[in-house]
Amino acid sequence: MIVRSAVRRSAYYDSVTLMQAQQALRSLPGIVEAGVVMGTPANLELLREAGLDVGSASASANDLVVAVSGDTAEHVEAALSSLDALLRARPATDPVDQNYRPRTIATAARLLPGANLALISIPGRFAAGAAREAAAAGLHAMVFSDNVALEDEIRLKQTSRSRGLLCMGPDCGTAFIGGIGLGFANRVRRGPIGLVGAAGTGLQEVMSTIHRLGGGVSHALGAGGRDSSEAVGGTSMLDGLTLLGRDPSTTVVVLVSKPPDPGVARRLLAHAAGVGKPVVVAFVGSVPDNEMPDPLTSVSTLEEAGILAVRLAGGAPRDLDGEGNRWVQAAKERAAVARSRLGASQRYLRGLFCGGTLCAETVWLLESALRPLYTNVQIGKARPLTSPGRSHAHSVLDLGADEFTVGRLHPMLDMTLRVGRIAQEAADPEVAVLLLDIVLGEGVHPDPAGALTPAISAACTAARAGGRELAVVASVCGTDADPQNRLRQVERLEGAGVLVEDTNARAAALAGAVVAAGMEGEGIWTRVAHRVPRAKPEAPWGPPPEGTTGGDAPALLAGSPRVVNVGLARFAESLRAQAAAVIDVDWRPPAEGDRAMLELLDKLE
């Protein structure tokens, strides 16, 4: 096997272009594997894991690295020589050439009457500048981009608040405003339940649960994963609570986050108690606080948050406790059958997630029963993985974390990373269970189950050839109204032998029970089957809390957003499919992405 690589210094290309170039290289004659990534340490390690070691070549996060393996030197060199042409090729998802796309956010805002929101999904090192431009143009912002400097996030949110604007993100994956899903969002019916959260897939899981129980959502406002940290102070979540408190279409509020900083948690809860509406608090990875004052109610899992929200809104008259007990009994039986098929060496669980909050919820549910448990998310007592490229013992991994997404598409969009990792984990003779989340909705992969099931089937076949049986457990976050259709996704997974559960919490419990023996596994069921608290009485309506965003921010929730899209074309396509008003910016990096020139420009500002 011949392996060659090349490094392009300070070369900018968007992640869709990189993905398409990588796929094109793999299809060339004689090419076995190819990688086209930005030169972060995590990406270089992933190349090595794929047999594409770049050797002594040095690269930074601002450099483009291409590595190719093939059967002959001629085929490999031909592939490398074709890279420039592939990178220049126009992405298939781009609008047709004759559609005029303005070069600046300010121009786009002028061209789209009533524009009120910028959706930003460009590389993190440029996202703060784009968000500042959006604020200067009077636009609220949803910053999908991650890998944005913490100090930039703090300044962005302070500036936006001072101008009466809402800044969702950076690293805000999901929002739902006026019936329109932005970024990664599910298609759900409208209703009286509003959500705010520093947890993208957490919002999606709760929204989807609400929809499947017959409830409806007014709005869901994202905040970004770092919003609940001490440094950021919960700025966007506080502003979102204020907006939902003022919104007449919202009667119940759900607050979702990974465990906030203690001081931020106190601030959020005090603020939530003043919005004048019942609030369901889902701090994923925290023990529920039964002493919360009215009108706040704390829950254990995202599933419970959705159930309680629907109950508070006047729906879901079901025997939830009895149903939970029946499910536990059935799940124990399924786990016992799967456990009976394992070989003597098989004892570990490996979780491969694209949703960070779903990953965090899983770690919290399993940490007391599966020891040692390793992860790359900071939650509970689980141990940190020293290298995300290699699992150890029981491991639950968030493949959408920053270390995996610099210069490459999020795993909800591109399944390449997870497909490779499924094969890697299944080849370990000590692995008993693979645990996956399948996330549907706007902007994500058009058929995630279809992309993953061949890899799942191949992994199970390889395990059987080695005298082992591999259990694969998954949950599907989404609705039948989503473009991918949840029912069809479930059928495809079950056709490949996957054990599919209704929610992430239930999938985690089932998978954990397969490898947790005896009484150690009982803690899993206790956490998942936690009784849904009785709804507290509705609090009297009061004025919204002081000190949060004002100005024209409430107008954002008065109708469908009118969006200036800066970045991924598929987000604009998703908005058009929902009949939302949107205009694309023909965005290019300042100074063509040259790092030295960018640093000089920053100093001049």
Average pLDDT over residues 450-479: 96
Residue 491's CB is within 10 A of a number of other CB atoms, namely 12
What is d(CA 517, CA 487) in angstroms, rounded to the nearest whole number? Answer: 32
| pLDDT on residue 368 | 86
Tell me what pLDDT residue 327 has: 82
Instruction: State how far the Cα of 321 lies from the Cα of 308, in Å rounded to an integer.
Output: 12
pLDDT of residue 440: 97
CA 457 – CA 200 distance, rounded (Å): 29
3-state SS, residue 292: coil
Report all structural domains of the chain as residue ranges with CATH numbers, in order of start. 2-88 (3.30.70), 96-171+561-605 (3.40.50.720), 173-318+533-549 (3.40.50.261), 320-528 (3.40.50.261)
Question: What is the predicted pLDDT for the residue at 405?
Answer: 75
**pLDDT higher at 97 or 244:** 244
Strand order in the sheet with 167-168: 167-168, 140-143, 117-120, 562-566, 581-584
Q: Is the pLDDT of residue 563 over 90?
A: yes
The stretch 259-288 carries a mean pLDDT of 92
Mean pLDDT for 409-422 is 89
Distance of CA 586 to the CA centre of its chain: 25
pLDDT band at 413 (very low <50, low <70, confident <90, very high): confident
pLDDT grade, residue 93 (50/70/90)?
very low
pLDDT at 113 over 90: yes
Question: How does residue 410 score in pLDDT terms, banded at 50, 70 and 90?
Answer: confident
Q: Give the strand order in the sheet containing 190-198.
A: 180-183, 174-177, 217-222, 190-198, 252-257, 279-283, 296-298
What integer pLDDT is reported at residue 595 of this predicted model? Answer: 54
For residue 154, give the 3-state DSSP assignment. Answer: helix
For residues 575-588, give the mean pLDDT.
93
The reported pLDDT for the residue numbered 406 is 67
Confidence bin at 601 (pLDDT 50/70/90): very low
Per-residue pLDDT at 506 exceeds 50: yes
pLDDT of residue 380: 84
Confidence bin at 49 (pLDDT 50/70/90): confident
User: Using one digit for the tens of pLDDT, what is the confidence trace for 422-453?
Assistant: 999 999 999 999 999 999 999 899 999 999 99
**Nearest partner of 396 among 407, 385, 412, 410, judged by Cα:** 385
pLDDT at 547 over 70: no
Average pLDDT over residues 535-551: 43
The pLDDT of residue 602 is 55
Q: Which of 88, 67, 77, 70 is nearest to 22 (CA)?
A: 67
Determine the 3-state secondary structure of 350 from DSSP.
strand
pLDDT band at residue 550, thresholds of 50, 70 and 90?
very low
Residue closest to 497 by CA, chosen among 466, 461, 448: 461
Tens of pLDDT along 57-90? 778 877 889 999 999 999 999 999 999 888 877 5
In this predicted structure, the answer to whether residue 534 has a pLDDT above a threshold of 60 is no
Q: Is the confidence at residue 553, as pLDDT, over 70? A: no
- pLDDT of 511 higher than 60: yes
Q: Read off the pLDDT band of 40 (50, 70, 90).
A: confident
Average of pLDDT values for 461-466? 94
Reference 575, options 121, 217, 97; nearest CA is 121
Beta bridge partner(s), residue 167: 141
Report, as an integer, the average pLDDT of 480-485.
Answer: 96
pLDDT in tens, 289-300: 877 877 899 998
User: Are 87 and 16 in contact, with CB atoms under 8 Å apart?
Assistant: no
pLDDT at 522: 61
Q: Is the distance from CB of 472 to CB of 218 less than 8 angstroms? A: no
pLDDT confidence of residue 519: 45
What average pLDDT does this structure show over 197-211?
Answer: 95
**What's the whole-number average pLDDT of the chain?**
87
Q: Is the pLDDT of residue 548 over 70?
A: no
pLDDT tens for each residue of 393-405: 999 999 988 788 7
| SS3 of residue 161 by DSSP | helix
The answer to whether 212 and 477 are in contact (CB under 8 A) is no
What is the structure's pLDDT at 316?
55
Quick one: average pLDDT of 589-600? 55
Residue 525 pLDDT = 72
Least trusted range by pLDDT, from 21-30, 357-366, 583-592: 583-592
